[in-house]
Structure 1
Amino acid sequence: MTHADDTIRVLIPLKVRKKNGRPKILPPADYLPSEDQTQDPHILRAIGRAWSWRRQLETGAASTIQDIAAAEKVSDRFVSRMMRFAYLSPEVLDNLVIRRVPLALSLNDLVAVADRPWAEQMDMVFELPET
């Protein structure tokens, strides 16, 4: 048995609103995410899609980029371009996805960086402080 003294109650002031028929949890109006936890959701989504598509090709769930494009209802050129995110260096991915370091360039420019050698990517993607 638990007593009233053993109970810890945590109140988190969130609002639930419907968006496109689905419930969406909203943070309190005065909530400001810390800088280290912010990241453009478009970047995270693009990286996630690229890895999903890469996995489909590697496991045989999809035979070609054209198969993925047809399933996703996008052009094969788009899939091919976005797949490059799956080949970013592990260090860049760690900084983008885990540490949430903001980019110093646009999403379109990041696609071009993925073609570069891993050793060059960090300096191109993030504005590193000069030492």
Structure 2
Amino acid sequence: MSLVDLVDLQVLGDERGQLVVLEAQKNVPFDIKRVYFLMGTRPGVSRGFHAHRELLQAAICVSGQCRMLMNDGLKIEEVILNSSSKAIFIDKMIWHEMHDFSSDCVLLVLASDFYNEQDYIRDYSEFIGLLNRA
């Protein structure tokens, strides 16, 4: 089973341009309660370095590109996000990191719940410990 659940999003359009639709419980497999985006990440800066106890997320690179690292405690997979028509789903209890942001990168993230600091696991050794207790 792959850690990287990369989904092709349907691109609609005609001579006027293109449109990508994201719909809860359709092409996004959860209700969307929060939307945010990362942009202007300085060269050499990486983001993420955490997992969530319960939160589900979908990330779409609407401009530019970045490298996503996904880790379930047993295996690590990487993928380059560089298309606004692809979404990567981040399940709960997946350690994730974002690296190598291009200068024009805009990474859009859809989340299944509101921000809750208690849901974050920011220490890798704690993450591994929680997995070993499960």
TM-score bin, normalised by smaller chain: under 0.3
Please, what TM-score do these two structures have when normalized by structure 1? Answer: 0.24
Q: Flag the structure with more relative contact order, 1 or 2, with Cα contacts below 8 A and sequence separation at least 6.
A: 2
| Higher strand fraction (1 or 2) | 2
Q: Bigger radius of gyration, 1 or 2?
A: 1
More helix by percentage: 1
TM-score, normalised to structure 2, is 0.23
